[in-house]
Every structure is written in structure tokens, then in C-alpha cells.
Structure 1
């Protein structure tokens, strides 16, 4: 494990961010939806995800459900559509097929190609191979409690592949392929209580929503958890005893890996990126795609890994591992990469955790690479909080990243490398009930739109109601 023991020294608060020469114009907040009055549950009516469809419309999905779960799939989504660049939004009730058609357009690569991987769960009773050697006491964080791991390459081929759906920039029809990830990815087994019949189809908790589990491919046991039971981390890790003593109403499953995540807001944090060579890469959370010992020895198994495809997304291989596990007392949880900085380097922006496993007030880190992620500079802490540093690079050369817990902020860089950040703007002021679990979509060469949650929003009558809002951000680079 590579550790920087020097305490971070370059941290500034958002209000003290330096002037790096960019001019930022922040549009007025626009309401996408309002939560029921008094609903302050974590994960409900929040975690928005925003993207553009090929026909020009914008989509904003809003999450109903708890936060992190072993399945990453126990969620429901409300859908909002805008046909005027986000100035107005319409709640749209749709069937599963229409929801899937929107999801297929979640990733539009710079070449114009669209690509989507269907989530897949496999029943453990279909697996004959032995579990991968594991020391449960060495697990930490979200991995704490894992007792059964399986190596992807040990599964039969028909079980380890996922369905890839794609179409070119000038093609209307979708083409379907079978794709697979690196065989040395390790899959944790989980268990969940299931019901023989799904008691609720589309109408859930009084809100018209689409259930994520309905578009997942289930191989083996087709039963689903009761959608009325939404529990923080609802599934739990399976144990050897579960294998020896199966129960009728408990399903043991493996989540077959896809390049990006399954939860819609996590997809934005682990995007599929296209290099100038045509290769595809993804930077995966170490807690999502962990690797076998021969590729990631010791504690590197849960470092953040970069996977690459040189086959248009059909086959993915481990390409590199971010070498740093922590800076000072802060563990690195996520590495968000921009591979196409104007100076030619890659930029990594990292989210961190503190020693007690929470992410509030844990610093935002920056690192750069000049050899496509094979080696990285020692991370430098630049801001006091780091959840979740989504963002990207505009065509005018300005990079941007969101961050904040507490608060929600955006910072900017125009030096071409990703080293000098400043001119920060505030979306939501720092408060106990604030967090930058937000999403963004590029609208033009000098602008983007952020979808975010404001827990302290007041409606037209002055009532306090959690809200999903959007704001347009226009950025001008420095003039020479």
C-alpha cells in the first residue's frame, strides 16, 4: 500500500478559492421535482442522474431507495423529461420498455457511438467452482462481512458474459453482443429474501416509478425481493453456511460485472470514456471491481482500478491500478479520471473517507499521469470535502468538478493539466443535511448543467420540501 503520511497542506475553503482566470455565470435554480413535505429519508427523492438523448431531449432520473447495497440494484426511479434545454421538466410515467430505451442512451461517446451493458445476476446454485481464498477479517468498509468470493474466469462462459447493446452515430437500430470483463475480477456472493410473486408491479409506495430490478437479467432463480421492503443495504453477504443450509425464501446470487456501475447515479461517477485511439476505459471503485491476488496483491485488491477495452467494448482487461490507498488518515474511495486533458495528461480527482468510515469533511485530492495511468503523481489535497467529484472537460478547455459534504460546490481549472483549481461557486451552502451526490451533462462548448438535491428547498408557499434542482453553468476560459 502506498501511503502519503504528510498531512494535506494545500486545502482551501470554497469561499477562499483562488482566481484562476475563468469567468463563471451560474443560472437560477430550476425545479425538476419536489419531495413530499416532511420526507427527509436518505436516498428517497434524491441521487439525480441527468443525460441527453440523441433527439436532443434531456432526461433526469430521481432515485427512490436506500443508499449502498451489495446488489447495487434495489432502487426505483422517477423520470423527468425536458425538451427545452432544462428550462422546464415534465414527470413522465412510462413502462419498462420505454425506461430501458432511455437507459440505452446513457453513454454517448465522443465518436457519437452509444453503448449500454445490461445488468445480470446469477444464482449461486448454478456455480460449481470453488470460492476464491479469502480472509474475512482483512475486509473493511463496504466489504466488511464478505465470506464468499468467486473469480469471474472460473465461471462457465455463458454465466460470466453480459449483454452489450450499441449503435453507431448515424445508425438507428441497436446491435446486441456478448461482452465480458477481466477474468481475475472477484465477485462477492450476497443473499436476499425473495417472494414467489411480485406483489407490486409499477405502482410503488404511491409513486409511479420504474423498478431497476425489472430490467436486470436474472439467471436461475427469477424471484425478486419484496419492493415494499427498502432497507439501507437490504441484501447481506452470503456465508458458507448459507450454501450448506439453503432456505426456500432466500436467494444466493452473484452480480456479474459490467464496465460501469448499475445504480444510475453511480454510472455518472464511473463513466465509460473513449480515448483518441478508440480504446475505451473506465475507472472503477475498488469496492465494486476488486481483483485477484496476482493482479492486485495485498491491500491493492480494493484500490481503484482502470479497465480498458481495445475491442469496442466486447472484452475488458485490467489496465492499471491507482497506486495510492490513502493520504494521511484519509482512505481513497473513488478515483474520477479525465483522460483527455488539453496538455495531454490524465487527471485523477479522488474522493476520500476518514478513519471512522464516513465521507463528510474528507479532502478532495488531485493527481496527474503522463503515461495513461501507469504512474501517478502523489495526490494533493485541494478542498476540504470530496463527495462526489463528478465533472469533466468542456470543449473550450475548462475542466470542472463538483464536490461537497457538507455543502455542494463546483471548482474549475483552465491550465490544461488539472493542477490549478479555483473560482469555486456554491450550489448549496454547507449544512448538516447537504451532500454533492449530483450529476452533470454538457450542453455546449462553454456550458453544462448540474442536477442536484437541495434538502432545504422551500416551495412557492414557503414549505420546506426536499427538491431536485438543475442549474446551468457557463464558463469562459482566461483571455490572453
Structure 2
């Protein structure tokens, strides 16, 4: 389904090319918000661009995309996993830290902490490559501590006394099956979750292990290794408790078996992250109407989680693995994460969505693959979004990538950081950055975006 879109801007062929450097003003009239969110309907915003966004004839957003700033460029051609997967965070001294991966994207690399690091003291306008102990994804807690999820190194199966499996998972890209075990039956070293904590007033981050109470949870082994994977977002609820929306989520059913398709699980802590208890789940649900290859998916993964101003819990989920790039789904909770609405498609594709609610009431979502996109909404349920604003030009013939081929333009993983009541920074990778010498290298970029609600 496609609705009309009037763009008073330069025509873009969709083929990767040089990034525009001159400022452009664009008027977008979207007569049918919430419909026709096709990948070919993205709005180019590669360089400095000012956009007046109208929905049904009424101006809803004024958006200013600043020129991208290059943080770092690879010195040589890099394989998948290197010079990508960036994140961005604000340090205790007010400076901004950017981090990105410098190792393979594989279970064997978990816990290696091999990352590039840069710091900005001027709000992201300039960057200096320097080491930093900052994890890059920390949350400020009500007691003044800062907490960041940590992934320890996996332990070989042969070094553990493992219980009997409670299921076998779907074969993944490693051509190896998952073996599932009930969490409570695993060796103590494979239970719980790990964090890095910076106590209020302290200067050194400390590694700690927290308790995890979830009698139905399962964990897996893969390729002869048993990891602890507990990735996702942590938010502070109105009552001061911490809520974590994490993946992968595997559950042992009433028959003692594990569904190999993952879901998103939500946990609550009332003691600043030392103990976590299961709160709610979004189990994977087949949706042949919204996704014709739903039956081939490996489940929901990479959930973005945000608590909206009215108290609604919003979650956006990826469904890529198993059958190429899949749609992203939205689900919301009106009872603080205990139960969730039936997930429904909100975008046709995307990996690792990120959510950020600005204090002016605008909700921002970033995602990628193919390319890198930003979307905006004021919908209190997060189901109706603007069209995608494209950060990078990408080949319009992206069937290979959508069907599971390697990412062509960017890894698609992004990070968002608030920079004011109406302002944010987005960080992303660019696989086609052209150096002054004319070579093509991977680069990490950041740009400021200002969005005003009308």
C-alpha cells in the first residue's frame, strides 16, 4: 500500500553517491500518516537539511538535521563486526563518549571489550580518540549510581557440569543448534546477570553480579560455549524501581520444554539493580498477515524499550533472523509491563531499534538495514510514525540485503542521546565513507538533530 507523498526537494536515484554538503530546505506533505511506510518512501536527509513535516495539511514537526560529523575512520578495509555497532553516552563529567566494536561479531568475542573510543567535550562537534573506562551504555539510578549491563566471556561446555537440556533450538547462521537449559538448574557461574556499577561519588567502575529470579527462564549453549546474554534497555519507573526490557528471552513451558523462538522479557528491581524479578513477557507470535514468512522467524529480538510520559510502556521489536530482514513490531503495556498488547507491524524492516522520548513530547526511533533511518511521533501508543528520514543513501535494489545478504551501506545499529529538550545526537556507521585520498573505508559518524513539535 502506498500513499502519495509530495517532496519539494532534490530528486534522489537511490544509488550510493557523494554526500551533499549544501544546506537544503524541504517541505513534506504526508496526507495519510500511519500508512504506506514502504522502504522506498524514505526522505533523504544525508547532509544539513531543514524539513517542515506536514500531516494531513497541518504542520506537525520542524526538523533540522545538522551536517554529519566523522568521529573515526578505519585505516584499512575491515570485515564484518569491525568498526560498527556504535553507541553513545554522556559521562559523569558531562562529556560525551562514543564506542564501537573492533572485533568479530561472534559468541567467541563476548566479553573481550575490544572497542574504539572517542570523547567529545563540545556536545559532539569535535572528537578525540582516547581510552575511557565508561561502558558507553550506562543508566543513572535514583540513588545516584550509574549502572551498565555487562556481558562476561562464555564458558566452554566441557568445563561445566550441565543439567539435561530442556530443548534444542533452531539452527542459526553458525550451522549449529542451540541447546536450552533451565536457568535455575545451571551452574552458579551461569546464573544471574552481570553489571558494571559506578557508585555515587566514586571514580572507578566495579564489576558485580546480580540475582535473577525467573523460574521459567531458560538459557542456551551454542558452538560449545555457554554465554550469559542479557541485553536491552533499563528505565526508571515512576515508583523509582528499575525496569529492564531484555533479549533473548527463552521460556520453559508447562511441559518442561523450551520454545526455540525468542521473545522479549521484562524484569523489575526495587534495590537499584542488585536483584531482578520477572515482570512480564512478549512471547513470539506468528503473524502471516503482517509478515508472509513469519513462520521462518527465530522470534522477537533486540527490543527497544521506553516509558512514555503518560506511563505507557512501549516496546519495538526486531524480527530479522531466520528469513532475511523482517518487519519491526510495536507493543505497549498499560499496567507497567505486566501484560502487553499483541505486537503489530510498524515498519517493514529494521535491526536494533532505539527509542528516545524528548522532554518536548516528541518520541524518536532510530533503526537501520538497509541504510539508517530516523522516525518521529507524538502518538501516545507509539504505533503511528512519520516516514523514515534517511541518514545514508542506499541502493534501491536492496533485495539481496532484505533476503539475508550482508549489509551494504551500514550495520544499521545506532545510538541516541538527548542533547536538549528538542535536540538529540544519533551515532551510526557508514560503510562507504570516502577518505580525502579517495579510498572507501568504514567510518563512525554522529549528527545533531533538532525536532520541534507544532
Coarse TM-score class (shorter-chain normalised): 0.7 to 0.9
How many angstroms apart in 2 are the aligned matches of 1:305 and 1:102?
A: 26
2:170 is aligned to 139
Quote the Cα distance in structure 2 between the aligned partners of 1:438 and 1:339: 16
Unpaired runs of at least 5, structure 1? 1-7, 191-235, 239-252, 262-269
Map 1:64-463 onto structure 2 (within 5 A): 64-69=102-107, 72-73=110-111, 76-92=114-130, 94=131, 99=132, 101-103=133-135, 106-109=138-141, 112-120=144-152, 121-122=154-155, 124=157, 127-128=160-161, 130-134=163-167, 136=168, 139-141=170-172, 145-146=176-177, 148-155=179-186, 157=188, 160-161=191-192, 164-167=195-198, 178-182=209-213, 184=215, 185-190=217-222, 236=223, 238=224, 253-256=225-228, 260-261=230-231, 270-286=232-248, 289-294=249-254, 299=259, 302-328=262-288, 329-330=293-294, 331=297, 332-334=299-301, 336-353=303-320, 356-359=322-325, 362-422=326-386, 424-431=388-395, 433-435=408-410, 436-463=412-439
- Deviation, 1:305, is 1.6
Check conservation: 1:447, 1:474, Cα contact below 8 A.
Answer: yes
Over 3 Å counting, the alpha-carbon distance change for 1:176 and 1:63 in structure 2 is closer
* Cα distance change, pair 405–165 in 1 and its aligned pair in 2 (3 A): closer
Q: Please name the residue that 1:267 is paired with.
A: none
Shift of 1:466: 2.0
Gaps spanning 5+ residues in structure 2: where?
1-33, 44-52, 399-407
Change over 3 Å in CA distance of 1:319–1:32 after alignment to 2: same
Is 1:473 aligned to 2:420, yes or no?
no
Note closer, same or farther for the CA distance 1:285–1:68 as it changes in structure 2 (3 Å cut): farther
**SS at structure 1 position matched to 2:432:** coil
* Aligned residues of 1:291 and 1:301 also touching (Cα < 8 A): no
* Bigger relative contact order (CA 8 A; separation at least 6): 1
Deviation at 1:131, TM superposition (A): 2.6
1:12-27 alignment to 2 at 5 Å? 12-13=38-39, 15=41, 19-20=54-55, 21-27=60-66
1:411-445 CA deviation, whole Å, 9 max, x = no partner?
00113331321153210122351242122222222
With over 3 angstroms needed to count, the CA separation of the structure-2 counterparts of 1:69 and 1:311, relative to structure 1, is same
Q: How far does residue 449 in structure 1 lie from its aligned partner after superposition? A: 0.8
TM-score (normalised: structure 1): 0.71
- Secondary structure of the corresponding residue to residue 456 of structure 1: strand
Assess, with a 3 A threshold, how the Cα gap between structure 1 residues 310 and 144 changes in structure 2: closer, same or farther.
farther
Post-superposition Cα deviations, 1:40-76, rounded to whole Å, max 9, x if no partner, equal 5211212112111010111111212222426634562
What whole-Å deviation, never above 9, does each CA across 1:17-58 have from its counterpart, x for those lacking one?
A: 884512211110111111135x15211212112111010111
Q: Secondary structure at the match of 1:304?
A: strand
**2:359, 2:255 → 1: CA distance?**
36
Q: Which is helix-richer, 1 or 2?
A: 1
The separation in 2 between residues aligned to 1:75 and 1:170, in whole angstroms, is 25
The alpha carbon displacement at 1:385 in A equals: 1.7
Return closer, same or farther for 1:441/1:57 CA change in 2, 3 Å cut-off.
same
User: Quick one: structure 1 residues 169 and 446, their matched pair in 2 at CA, closer, same or farther if it must change by over 3 Å?
Assistant: farther
8 Å CA contact 1:271, 1:282 repeated in 2: yes
Where 2:184 maps in the other structure, the secondary structure is helix
Which stretch of the first structure deviates more once superposed, 299-308 or 432-441? 299-308
For residues 77 and 400 of structure 1, do their structure 2 counterparts lie closer, same or farther at Cα, with a shift above 3 Å needed? same
Q: Check conservation: 1:105, 1:114, Cα contact below 8 A.
A: no
Deviation at 1:408, TM superposition (A): 1.0
Change (3 A) 1:295 1:52: farther
Instruction: Describe the shift of the 1:463–1:71 C-alpha distance in structure 2 as closer, same or farther (beyond 3 A).
Output: closer
Q: Distance in 1 between matches of 2:164 and 2:175?
A: 17
1:11 aligns with 2:37: yes
Question: Secondary structure of the residue that 2:307 maps to in structure 1?
Answer: coil
Closer, same or farther in 2 for the Cα pair 1:162/1:11, shift >3 Å? Answer: closer
Q: C-alpha separation between the residues in 1 aligned to 2:394 and 2:324?
A: 17
**Number of residue pairs matched by the alignment:** 387
Once the two structures are TM-superposed, the CA of residue 279 in structure 1 deviates from its matched residue by: 1.8
SS at match of 1:388: strand
Residues 221-253 of structure 1: per-residue CA shift (max 9 Å, x gap): xxxxxxxxxxxxxxx2x2xxxxxxxxxxxxxx5
Change (3 A) 1:323 1:295: farther
Call closer, same or farther: CA 1:296–1:324 in 2, change over 3 Å: farther
Q: Structure 1 residues 281, 339: closer, same or farther in 2, change over 3 A?
A: same
**Partners of 1:296 and 1:353 in 2: how far apart?**
27
**Does structure 2 conserve the Cα–Cα contact (< 8 Å) formed by 1:365 and 1:379?**
yes
After TM superposition, give the deviation of residue 366 of structure 1 in Å: 2.1
Q: In the superposition, relative to structure 1, how do residues 301 and 91 fare at CA in structure 2: closer, same or farther (>3 Å)?
A: same
CA change 1:118–1:376 in 2 (3 A) is closer
d(CA) in 1 for partners of 2:41, 2:190:
51
